[in-house]
Amino acid sequence: MQLLIYIAPHHPLFSHLLSAMGAMGTPIESLPVGSVETLLEHLRRPSAGRCICILAPSGRKELKALINQRHLMRDLRIVLVLPDDDGMVADGHLLRPRFISQENTGFAEVKAVVVRMAQRLLDESAYPLQSACVGMGD
């Protein structure tokens, strides 16, 4: 399982986000991705559906570029970290994130959400038939 972290290297919070996600205590490989093109390369791989993806666009232009490629993200578990611009939240919902945070709130909540998502993915992979059959035949 991978944690894709999309944040441009020039982003002022680049090092803060990467260090916050560093030691999560789960067997998950963190992979920082610095451009939309590189992110799209990873999303086109067959194993992309087992990814958790933190998207931290630095502005509207990057967010629009991500929204334009949302068809590649429909099976991902997305955590969206937006700049402190309330107008971007409505657009951010087009990506269907599991959690939305803003840059000014720090990354403690983001880390907690990602750890919980990772644990659920690990639990599902340990018992794939059980999770696939829940609710069948009731």
Phi and psi at 11, nearest 5°, equal -65, 135
At 14, which helix (H) or strand (E)?
helix 14-20
Please state which CATH class domain 2-133 belongs to: alpha beta
What are the pLDDT digits (tens) for 79-130?
Answer: 999 987 777 898 999 999 999 998 888 788 888 888 888 888 777 765 544 4
Cα dihedral 86/88/92/94 (nearest 10):
110
**Amino acid symbol at 53:** C
- Kindly report the CA angle at 102 between 97 and 104, in degrees rounded to 5? 165
**Does the pTM of the predicted model rise above 0.85?**
no
**Amino acid symbol at 38:** T
- For the chain, the structural domain boundaries read 2-133
